[in-house]
Amino acid sequence: MAKIEKQARSALEQGEPVWEYADAPESTEIVHLRDRYGLFIGGEFVEPKSGTWFETIDPSNEQPLAQVAEAGPEDVDLAVHAARDAYETHWRDLPGSERAKYLYRIARQIQERAREFAVLETMNGGKPIKESRDVDLPLAAAHFFYYAGWADKLEYAFPNRRPRPIGVAGQIIPWNFPLLMAAWKLAPALAAGNTVVLKPAETTPLTALLLGELIREAELPPGVVNIVTGAGEPGAALVNHDGVDKIAFTGSTEVGKIIRRATAGTGKRLTLELGGKAANIVFEDAPLDQAVEGVVNGIFFNQGHVCCAGSRLLVEEPVFEPLLEKLKERLQTLRLGNPLDKNTDIGAINSRAQLQRIEEFVVAGVQEGAEMYQADCDLPERGFWFRPTLFTNVSQSHRIAREEIFGPVLSILTFRTPAEAVEKANNTPYGLSAGIWTEKGSRILWMAERLEAGVVWANTFNRFDPASPFGGYKESGFGREGGRHGLEPYLELDGGNGASTR
């Protein structure tokens, strides 16, 4: 506010009219928080056998929101048994058309309660309300609708391959898109006839638990979906449980490697969606204003807490200067602050630990010789915040060009030929996504063929659709989520995919 007043005063002194956005906070009245949230096991919310609870907060102001159960090994065991019972006594043998009815019901109920979910997502995770409202919620519902449509058509999706469910799926998800990741995981698993134990991330359990309530209201048979909250330990207990047939994990490459080691040789099926360090590549002939919007969306959407974020900008040298100038100008217009305000572009960093990680990377960037530029905005006094940040003079050996920062920090490099762009883009252990900005269709195809990335966006970025498969190469993991491909990890298929990790 102080900055706005300062601007207003100086503009007034110069005799210019000043137009500013009025505050437009979304009301939190629609959300009814409970003091405590138990574990969702066998269709009921139950006290944890572990007897332990942890506090979950709003990262934008550090205010506590609720106490949440910390699942111990015994709780995870109960959840896996509930899922096994539901699988054997009910879900496995239910006709696909009946499973579809439940999924459609969940999809519709998510739509009906979208505002409540969006506000809660923003309160617990710090992302701007306009993103949870316009991206996370519509996509979460769309995933349930989409996979509901496949539930009775599996024979058509995989002709002559006798699709059968696998059994109990353990699904571990991160904190950057808490509800959406739950939807990505649950919808295909349930459509294929599996039952599930879901483990949300420790900093963002609340929308998954609200989804548990909704699932209960949808009268899904008890035990088909179970939700165990807590940090890494219940995740590891789930991975190591003998009663689990498949693990689906989205999170850091570090934990993904641990899980791959733990499941090797066990016969458990595994899919991993891990980190990324995507190149967003802008050619000389790209429409620059459009590219600037794509670059901003690529790295500042969800504060850069996006595994497929365009965190390395590769610019063809002739347009480096004008693009940089436009980017800097655009950065100054991004509105950072209260995530519940409908005008906010940049919300809070998800946790203190993540903020410290981002700060460490930025210090390393400066120490290694890169040049930093930050948006000149005021940061709220409480909560976890980081200014939108650009780095130029970045070399490929810098940590900020090699490692995933998972924050609003963009490293800018340049190139002179398409071949150099490909080489630089692929010079990373990751391979999740990439972006190309050019007017030439032939160049898009030439580049896309050579980029080692699961998703390549052309003249756009961060576009998602339930019908479109998503997943990585190299250290970004394996397996696909979304589309018909997203069903495959949840099915036994004749003549196909084997029974263990690939």
Give the one residue of 149, 232, 243, 287 binding ligand ADP; rule: CB under 6 A: 232
Residue closer to ligand ADP, measured from CB, 100 or 274: 274
Tell me which residue has tokens 């207003």: 8
Nearer to ligand ADP, 41 or 244 (CB): 244
What are the distances in angstroms from CA 484 to CA 11, 104, 471?
Answer: 56, 18, 13
Rounded to 5 degrees, φ, ψ at 286 are -70, 145
- Of residues 75 and 492, the one with the C-beta less far from ligand ADP: 75
308 is catalytic: no
Token pair 């995740």: residue: 235
Asked if 235 is part of the footprint of ligand ADP (rule: CB under 6 A), the reply reads yes
- Identified binder of ligand ADP from the candidate list 125, 163, 188, 251, rule CB under 6 A: 251
Helices 320-333 and 288-300, axial angle in degrees (round to 10): 60
Whole-number minimum distance, CB 256 to ligand ADP, in Å? 7
The only residue of 28, 61, 67, 252 in contact with ligand ADP, by rule CB under 6 A: 252
Stretch that binds ligand ADP, among 39-47, 61-69, 194-202, 487-495 (CB under 6 A): 194-202
Residue 258 interacting with ligand ADP (CB under 6 A):
yes
Between CA 299 and CA 99 the distance in angstroms is 38
Contact call for residue 72 and ligand ADP (CB under 6 A)? no
- Contact status: 306 vs ligand ADP (CB under 6 A): no
Strand-strand pairing, 433-437 and 455-458: parallel
What's the rounded Cα separation, in Å, for the pair 213 and 196?
Answer: 15
377 among known catalytic residues: no
Among candidate residues 477, 502, 499, 495, the one with its CA nearest the CA of residue 245: 499
CA–CA dist 265, 443 (Å, integer): 43
For ligand ADP, the nearest residue by Cβ is 235
Between residues 8 and 258, which has the closer beta carbon with respect to ligand ADP? Answer: 258
Residue 251 or 337: the one with the smaller Cβ distance to ligand ADP is 251
Pairwise CA distance, residues 133 & 111, whole Å: 11
DSSP output for 384-418: -----EEEES--TTSHHHHS---SSEEEEEEESSH
Binding residue count for ligand ADP, defined by CB under 6 A? 16
- Residue 15 in contact with residue 331, Cβ under 8 Å? no
User: Quick check: 11 binds ligand ADP (CB under 6 A)?
Assistant: no
Q: Which of 42, 255, 164, 210 is nearest to 493 (CA)?
A: 164
Q: Residue for token digits 């365009």?
A: 310
Which region, judged by CB under 6 A, interacts with ligand ADP, from 33-41, 187-195, 228-236, 453-461?
Answer: 228-236
Provide the 8-state DSSP code for 25.
B
Q: Which is nearer to ligand ADP, 36 or 257 (CB)?
A: 257
What is the closest distance, in whole angstroms, from the C-beta atom of residue 494 to ligand ADP in the complex?
A: 31
Considering only 43, 48, 126, 174, the residue that binds ligand ADP (CB under 6 A) is: 174
Which of the residues are catalytic? Answer: 273, 307
User: Which residues contact ligand ADP (rule: CB under 6 A)?
Assistant: 172-174, 199, 201-202, 231-232, 235-236, 239, 251-252, 255, 258-259
